[in-house]
Structure 1
Amino acid sequence: MRKTLTCGALLCFAVRTPSALAASPDAQLEERAEGYCEWVRGVGDAEAALELAPEVFGSFGVVNTGQAEGGTDLGKPKPRVTAGVSYDVVGLYRGRVIHRRAAAECRRQQALSSLQAALRQGSGLGEASALEARARVLEEALPRAEALVTALRSDLREGRATLEELNAVQVRLDNLRSLSTDTAMARERLAAQPDLPRGQRLESLLEEFRAADDAVEAASAGLRRAKGWELSLRGGYDEVFDLDQDVPLFGQVMLTYDLGHLWQGKANARAREGRRRATKNDVGGMDQQISELLTELRSRHRTEEARLREVSALVTDLEGQLREVEALQTREVRRFRDYLLLELARLRAEQAYLTAHVESLASLLGPAAP
């Protein structure tokens, strides 16, 4: 009786806990990536602030004024004060690219977090809904199975059943209890692991990761090329003391170009292509790990589809047998019916698990899955 209560408590906990207490996979994804995104956005804002804002400058010193009017005081140093504002127009472009790179790094981390969650679950990916379906079937079947064993014990005391019949039914009941306990433990274990967002395909997530990583490299290349240009607007106050000046102000436009910019295009293209190849061919990289996981999941999908057809055929056969013996009232037929009910409960639990898991795997793998 104690074992029955324990199994029932575990099953009840397993049915309610994941749906009631665990956060949704989408919320978990946002929470996992939010810290990283906040970091890269903060770094991007700090770097872009220096590019987007103007510079204020000032200087004080002495200068050689050269030949003054009247030909006197040649080269006599005079104090000079300069102050003003300078702005690099190219900084507008660099600031925007820095923000774009931060956004791409955030998208890459979001996709990476989802892919890492998939790798953590491995071959058990998509099993949560399957375990839930099995738990529902067992929750309905166990009380009836317990009632059958209780009735059979009563028949044994009254001499209407044999010990062998009771033992045979108890073994099947114990199998159901063990299956329910294993299901509850598996659901608790999965609930503690990061999950994928609903409706996401692994290949789509991998493509998003690649696209975001490529966008990061493209933005970095844009920043490197922007360093070759400078278009500065300068203006302010400039006074040389003891020297007549009508308007002690100045303005200047300065354009500089680094000739190394001419060779940057091909170098950046090589860097971008090299990064794509390195990411794809890295033995321990995300591409390789997800490709291996996809191969494993496709194999499991095919296997479970075949197993589901077999189990469904068995369930249909046993249900037909059960309908035939329900109308008979002999003791031997009733015992056979009890065996059928317990075996049918186990097969229905397996059928529910396989049906849900095959659907989950099909959603994860997409229409290209065999």
Structure 2
Amino acid sequence: MRKTLTCGVLVLLAARTPAAHAEQPTESATPDARVEQRAAGYCDWVQGLGDAEAALELAPEVFGSFGVVNTGEAEGGVPLGKPKLRVTAGLSYDFVGLYRGHKIHRRAAAECRRHQALSSLQAAVRQGMGLGEDSALEARARVLQDALPRAEELVNALRADLRDGRATLEELNAMQVRLDNLRSLSTDTALARERLASRPEFPRGQRLEPLLEELRAADDAVEVATGSLRRAKAWELSVRGGYDEVFDVEQEVPLFGQVMLTYDLGHLWQGKANARARDGRRRSTTNDVDGVHQKISELLVELRSRHRTEEARLREVSALVSDLEGQLREVEALQTREIRRFRDYLLLELARLRAEQAYLTAHVEALTSFLGTTRP
């Protein structure tokens, strides 16, 4: 007959289970709200799976059995008396389950972090060379929206002068060409904004390289948690206790308690295997030619080249704008017909250059933010 040992310990363990379930890993950075929304379904999925798996690890087991047993044997193995009914029921709890449940939650949180970083990087890949162009196109559209009505007024005034014989057809054609260029630029800008709006948006203020590092760190955290779970399977430290009665047999206290520790010797060989798996996973994801790491690396090279090119172009355009603004100030005071025509040409050309300057300024600033480079 077995005596009771620690039934009270089982109640204490059951009370501690919710606290272990509530523990969650601290994330390194708060992702953009739109990224969270895109990854919400995946995060709910993996965290729901984690909660379902961890629930079985963190909660105690209830067991019971009913049958017949022999109550004793005489010399020579002859049973004494008739078999007696026996009822056993109780609780069992594995302390190692606390550790496994914690690691399951850590793995689910790391998988969510990995998917959030991956979702942002995939959005950057979809944007491609248009990354950061949304703010640049918006800046160009604002300049053109302000400039087009003034340009149309100048062309309409020139048509009236042509009818009155104060302008030539060549002058009107030259102005109409400049106006058409502005209209065409406005149309192209609107189409480009619609095209970019249909693609997944990359969060403003994010940088590509830290996101890539976050993806690597989260993926490594998934593998570390998975390896810890594999190693934890080698251990079991359980406490069992409950009710155990054999009918028609006198028992002083029909209770029992048991502590059991088991260890699988295969654990001795798991360390090197897990280390090799972790290193292999890291090299596999980094060197995958179709993976996001390779695509982002290629995109970074292209964006840095475009960043340098547009910085140089911005300096050139800014110099041209300053020069034309200076010329415009000089001719404003002159009132001859030829000077007024030259002024009108300057206004339309200046509108186009200002639109390009606004685009380049906003795009260079956006690329600077994404790449983490410093403006010269």
Same fold (TM over 0.5): yes
2:315 matched to which residue of 1?
309
- Verify: 1:182 aligned to 2:184, yes or no: no
SS at match of 2:245: strand
**Cα distance, 1:29 vs structure 2:** 1.1
**Cα distance, 1:193 vs structure 2:** 1.8
Q: Deviations over 1:162-198 (max 9, x none)?
A: 1111011001001101111111121122222221222
Aligned residue runs from structure 1 range 32-43, under 5 A: 32-43=38-49
1:4 matched to which residue of 2?
none
- Verify: 1:103 aligned to 2:109, yes or no: yes
Q: Deviations over 1:27-49 (max 9, x none)?
A: 32121011111111111110000
Q: Deviations over 1:204-230 (max 9, x none)?
A: 110111111110111001100110000
The separation in 2 between residues aligned to 1:271 and 1:225, in whole angstroms, is: 13
1:208 matched to which residue of 2?
214
1:329 matched to which residue of 2?
335
Aligned residue runs from structure 1 range 1-370, under 5 A: 26-67=32-73, 73-74=79-80, 76-367=82-373
SS at match of 1:138: helix
The separation in 2 between residues aligned to 1:73 and 1:63, in whole angstroms, is: 10
Distance 1:368 1:153, change over 3 A: closer
Counterpart contact for 1:28–1:194, Cα < 8 Å: no
The TM-score with structure 1 as length reference comes to 0.90
Q: Which runs of 5+ in 2 are unaligned?
A: 1-30
Counterpart contact for 2:368–2:374, Cα < 8 Å: no
Q: Deviations over 1:79-127 (max 9, x none)?
A: 2211111011100111111111111111111101100110110000000
Counterpart contact for 1:60–1:79, Cα < 8 Å: yes
The separation in 2 between residues aligned to 1:367 and 1:139, in whole angstroms, is: 31
Counterpart contact for 2:70–2:79, Cα < 8 Å: no
The separation in 1 between residues aligned to 2:288 and 2:81, in whole angstroms, is: 68
Distance 1:72 1:320, change over 3 A: closer
The separation in 2 between residues aligned to 1:326 and 1:76, in whole angstroms, is: 123
Counterpart contact for 1:326–1:337, Cα < 8 Å: yes
Letter in 2 for 1:78: K
Measured on the aligned residues, the alpha-carbon RMSD in Å equals: 1.8
Number of residues paired by the alignment? 345
The separation in 1 between residues aligned to 2:375 and 2:117, in whole angstroms, is: 21
Q: Deviations over 1:268-288 (max 9, x none)?
A: 111111111111111111110
Q: Deviations over 1:238-258 (max 9, x none)?
A: 112232221111100000000
Q: Which runs of 5+ in 1 are unaligned?
A: 1-24
The separation in 2 between residues aligned to 1:240 and 1:368, in whole angstroms, is: 82
Counterpart contact for 2:220–2:278, Cα < 8 Å: yes
The TM-score with structure 2 as length reference comes to 0.88
Q: Which moved more, 1:188-197 or 1:340-349?
A: 188-197
Q: Which moved more, 1:213-222 or 1:327-336?
A: 327-336
